[in-house]
Structure 1
């Protein structure tokens, strides 16, 4: 299983082995990762699963589709070029080693 690291705003890290085919949001919520609120449950309609993809990984992931791009305008924390919604990032084998940072707020 690919290993994904979630970094909290305070620098605390949590690395999870997530099954291929699950989303980062689902993996985070099922494993109690703080800061991923996921109010809509992964429907790409709330922007409360916002993460910052590590710069080394940003170009290695598929670009956001239109719905995700539009929803990112509604994030509580600053939208950055590497902002993504974790509900829209489906784990693949190629994501082994992915690092994402959780913003200081989701709502």
Structure 2
């Protein structure tokens, strides 16, 4: 039996051959994965595919065009660009209707305040998830009836889609949310 000293350890010649074969096999697998991943990256969407343009109009009428990321909420985008909408209205209980007889409570996934009220106008508004009873209850609780319109939504409840490219978001006067 031939012994060989490798890195201060004695190995048999057959053990060394087995290690080399295993290393070569791993290297081949890694190379084929790299080739597969390089072809997969060509299928990833471009920046243009995941970005849209939004226009925020503040209470004074000043307009600000900002880029938005598809899949993010309107509140996330406003926060990313330093546009003040008030505290986020997330963390409340919501119900998911699973069937005619089963409604599942989803704690922490619904609106719990109405501070982030906005008005949506323009392309893609119809693609937003319809306003549910909890969102409407929050709007009614925090805003007066003459301040709520059919276009009224909570920014945390609007997830951006590609069809919303060019949408205008009107930010009404803020209600006091910083009482000590």
Q: TM-score, normalised by structure 1?
A: 0.84
The question of whether the paired residues in 2 share the 8 Å contact of 1:50 and 1:106 is answered with: no
Matched, 1:61 2:128: yes
**After superposition, where does 1:83-94 map in structure 2 within 5 Å?**
83-94=152-163
Q: In 2 relative to 1, CA 20–55 (structure 1 residues): closer, same or farther, beyond 3 Å?
A: closer
In the aligned structure 1, how far is the partner of 2:152 from the partner of 2:79? 19
1:2 corresponds in structure 2 to 52
SS in 2 for 1:71: helix
Higher relative contact order (CA 8 A, sep 6+): 1
CA RMSD in angstroms, aligned pairs only: 1.9
Matched, 1:71 2:121: no
Q: In 2 relative to 1, CA 55–91 (structure 1 residues): closer, same or farther, beyond 3 Å?
A: closer
Q: Based on CA coordinates, which of the two structures has the bigger radius of gyration? A: 2
Q: In 2 relative to 1, CA 9–31 (structure 1 residues): closer, same or farther, beyond 3 Å?
A: same
CA deviation vs aligned residue, 1:25-81 (integer Å, no higher than 9, x gap) = 1110121013x01244x3311111100112676545332022212111123461122
Aligned residues between the structures: 105
Determine which structure has the larger strand proportion and give its number. 2
The question of whether the paired residues in 2 share the 8 Å contact of 1:55 and 1:82 is answered with: no
Which consecutive unaligned segments of at least 5 residues does structure 2 have? 1-50, 92-110
1:106 deviates by 3.1
Match of 2:80 among 30, 33, 45: 30
Determine which structure has the larger helix proportion and give its number. 2
SS in 2 for 1:18: strand
The question of whether the paired residues in 1 share the 8 Å contact of 2:88 and 2:156 is answered with: no
In the aligned structure 1, how far is the partner of 2:135 from the partner of 2:163? 21
